[in-house]
Amino acid sequence: MSETHVRSHHFGETAIMTPANAITVGRLLLTPYFIYLFVNEGATWRTAIVGAIVAFSDGIDGVVARRQGATRSGAFLDPLIDKVVIMACFIAVASEGKLPWAPIIIIGLREIAMTIYRSVVAKDGISIPARTSAKWKTFVQDFAIAFVCLPPTASWNWLHLVTVWLAALLTVTTFIQYIVDGRAASGSVA
C-alpha cells in the first residue's frame, strides 16, 4: 500500500461528517449512559470507566481534528458538546448530593455567558482561540466528577469540595481571560 493510502484523509474547513466530529457526537451520546450508571450504581468501576471514556474522548477528537484538518463544524460542535456533557454530569452528581450546587451554578453561568459572548463577538468576525488555562479548567472539572465516581475516592468529601471549588475558580478565571482576549481582538479588528 502506498504512503498516501496509509496517511489519514484530510478534511477541508467546511466538512461536517468527519471522524473527529463523530467522536465528539459519540461523547454526547455516551453521556446519558454514564449518568444512568452513576445514578443507579453510584461509584463503581463500570461508572468510572464509562466516565473516563467520555472525558478522554474530548482529547482524542482534538488529536484527530488536528491530524485531519480542523473544521468549522468541529470548532462549533466540540466546545458546545463539551459544555453540555460537563454540565449534565455536574447536575447529575449534584442531584445525588455528591457535590454542592453553588460551584456548579457558577460553572454553568460561566458556560452560558461564554457561549453568548463568543456568539456576539463572532458577528464582528472575532474568533477567540482556546487558552491553555481553559484546558486546565476542563481537566479539573473532569477530575471533580471523577473523584466522586472512582470507588477509592468516592468517600473523600474533602477532595470533592476542593476540586469542584478549584474548578469553579478556574472557570471564572478563564472567563475573565477570554473577555480580555476578546477586547484585545476587537481593538485590533477596528
pLDDT score of 14: 60
Q: Where are the domains of the chain?
A: 3-189
Axis crossing angle, helix 19-41 with helix 72-95, rounded to the nearest 10: 0
Q: What is the mean pLDDT of each run of 10 residues along the chain (190 residues)?
A: 50 66 84 93 94 85 73 69 88 94 96 85 75 86 94 96 96 91 69
Identify the CA nearest to 121 among candidates 190, 29, 68. 190
Give the C-alpha separation, 186 to 190, whole Å: 6
* pLDDT given at position 2: 44
Residue type, 114: M
pLDDT at 75: 67
| pTM, full prediction | 0.81
pLDDT at 1: 44
Question: What span, in angstroms and rounded, lies between the C-alpha atoms of 20 and 65?
Answer: 5
CATH code, 3-189: 1.20.120
- Residues with Cβ within 8 Å of residue 121, at least 6 apart in sequence: 128, 182, 185, 186
